[in-house]
Amino acid sequence: MPDSTVPPTPPVALSALLAREDLALRRIAGPDDPGTVVHWVHTSEMADPYPYLLGGELLLTAGVHIPEAAGSGTYFDDYVARIVAAGGAALGFGVAPVHDTVPRALVAACERYGLPLLEVPPQTTFSGVARAVWQLMAQARLAELRRVTEAQQSLASAASRPDPVPSVLRQLAQRLGGWAVLYGPEGAEIAEAGRKPGEEAASALAELAAVVRPAGGEAAPSPQPPAPTPANRPHPTSATDTVSGAHLAAYALGAGRGFVLGVAAPGRAPGDHTVVSVAAVLLSLLTGEQQSGTGAARSSALVRLLLGAAPEDVAPLLGDGRRWVVVHARPDGEGVPDAVAASALGAALGSALVDPAGDVVRVLVPADRAPDPLPGWTLGVSAAVAPEDWPAADTQAARALARARATRAPLLRNGPRPALADLVPPDEAAAYARTLLAPVTAHPALPETLRTWLSLHGSWDRTAVALSVHRNTVRQRIARCATLLEADLDDPDVRMELWFALRQI
């Protein structure tokens, strides 16, 4: 058996099995190597277990197969040699009921062939040993999954920072306890983080990066795939090596872009490959965005806005001729969305223009990607507007979100439609609103409370939910409005006039 095919399970250190006091196992022969691991448990009373082993097993036997004259011949040497040839990790010998002690010839053979030999006491069953191995495997798998999950979350959070590429590399280097480097298309180190290895290992890693980097960029597709030859065989996308005690790996990012992620770590822990793969995917997206120019366009748009450009002048950088909707989103429950959750929301809505502001996330979305309800979120969506109307749309989305939360609707839209208010010239409507609402506008909380209360048909409880205040606070504010306006707020004509005025401010 030239290559052992171990089962796809997390290995268990033999030392961890020996440390189980409930098993009372004792190593009586073979090397005391802390690196010895067990991948499987197999029980066999065959004189030649070779054909039944995959490699990496702890083989358990009670010695039923041992002939009476075995100690005087080569039986034990042949038996142990076959186990070692099959890739067995260790041999466990059960004392009683067949043998009172472990045969000394077996102990000597295991010592000669370097096979760990464990004595299994009478009170410990083979099934108990197997169960202990499965338990340790389950614990190892759980620890691996927890480590990978935490790494994924931290890498995703790093990718959402203002300096995403250095942040992802720093987080990856920290998770691996080594060095992470991004090579550019020409082979230069663009960014790096962590503890750089020695010159020999660093040079070897650069050579690995050259192996996986496509030569001459991405090839154009051909009508018929060419026959595989040394010149056109599929290019490797990853490569590994070990130099000067450092474990090296290089991963090509994207298809034909030329960026390569390199890592150097002092060891290989379970889950490392998955963690590095997640970082490679994130860096592929980041470098791909840089190559395509969309990231540069967004940065340019932001800079121009900060320098005083009008939204309608900046909008072409984000897509010519588009209309937009503003989405206000709030997670269900009491939690405040973090940067990762906000980025995930933007991805679900098909936009990278995301602003996490406190407990509300604002997203600017092209109107042709009108959002649908999303599990775990309450959404308020503005009408589709031109860039010069983004501020008004932001107000619409905020009001739609408040109403959606009050009515427990997953999504509410503020759609445009003809109204009687359109018959009044805007200047006259604004002047009328300022005059009518002057008594309450001096108190910032009163106009918004009045607006929300009217939109919810005078419901105290729903208004309290929408404004995140107590219902008694709503009652006090509405009573204050009635007093200042000297109006009967139960009168539908008064409510209509107030609603018309409130829409103008």
DSSP characters for 403-460?
Answer: HHHHHT-SEEE------GGGGS-HHHHHHHHHHHHHHHHTSTHHHHHHHHHHHTTT-H
Percentage of the chain modeled with pLDDT above 70 = 84
CA distance 272 to 451: 55
For residue 358, pLDDT over 80 is answered with no
Band the pLDDT of 110: cuts 50, 70, 90.
very high
Burial profile 33-59: b = 16 or more Cβ within 10 angstroms, e = fewer:
eeebbbbbbbbbeeeebbeebbbbbbb
Asked if 464 and 474 touch (Cβ cutoff 8 Å), the reply is yes
Q: What value does the mean pLDDT take over residues 477-501?
A: 89
Asked if 236 and 249 touch (Cβ cutoff 8 Å), the reply is no
**φ, ψ for residue 471, nearest 5 deg:** -65, -30
Alpha-helical regions (H) of 219-309:
272-292, 294-306
Asked if 388 and 305 touch (Cβ cutoff 8 Å), the reply is no
In the structure encoding, which two tokens stand for residue 311, read together? 């939204």
Q: Which pLDDT belongs to residue 20?
A: 94
- Chain-wide mean pLDDT for the chain? 83
CA distance 388 to 155: 37
CA distance 464 to 452: 9
CA distance 26 to 18: 7
Q: Which pLDDT belongs to residue 43?
A: 96
Residue with more model confidence, 289 or 373: 373
CA distance 23 to 17: 8
CB atoms within 10 A of CB 425: 9
Band the pLDDT of 417: cuts 50, 70, 90.
low
The one-letter code for the residue type at 445 is A
CA distances in angstroms from 283 to 85, 159, 180, listed in the order given = 43, 8, 12
Q: Which pLDDT belongs to residue 291?
A: 46
The one-letter code for the residue type at 266 is P
Q: Which pLDDT belongs to residue 224?
A: 41
In the structure encoding, which two tokens stand for residue 296, read together? 């540069």
**φ, ψ for residue 121, nearest 5 deg:** -70, 160
Q: What is the pLDDT of residues 153-174, one digit of tens each?
A: 888 888 877 667 888 899 999 9
CA distance 497 to 456: 16
Q: What is the pLDDT of residues 299-343, one digit of tens each?
A: 666 666 667 777 777 777 776 567 888 999 988 877 677 666 776
Q: Which pLDDT belongs to residue 18?
A: 95
For residue 472, pLDDT over 90 is answered with yes
Domains delineated in the chain: 12-124 (3.40.1390.20), 145-215+237-292 (3.30.450.30), 323-413 (3.30.70), 421-502 (1.10.10.2840)
In the structure encoding, which two tokens stand for residue 258, read together? 């030329």
Asked if 328 and 354 touch (Cβ cutoff 8 Å), the reply is no
What angle do helix axes 164-176 and 272-292 make, rounded to 10 degrees? Answer: 170
The one-letter code for the residue type at 344 is A
CA distance 389 to 354: 18
Asked if 252 and 212 touch (Cβ cutoff 8 Å), the reply is yes
Q: What is the pLDDT of residues 378-387, one digit of tens each?
A: 999 998 888 8
Asked if 212 and 251 touch (Cβ cutoff 8 Å), the reply is yes
Q: Which pLDDT belongs to residue 365?
A: 85
For residue 230, pLDDT over 50 is answered with no
**φ, ψ for residue 257, nearest 5 deg:** -85, -25
Alpha-helical regions (H) of 160-249:
164-176, 199-212
Band the pLDDT of 418: cuts 50, 70, 90.
low
For residue 442, pLDDT over 70 is answered with yes
Residue with more model confidence, 437 or 335: 437
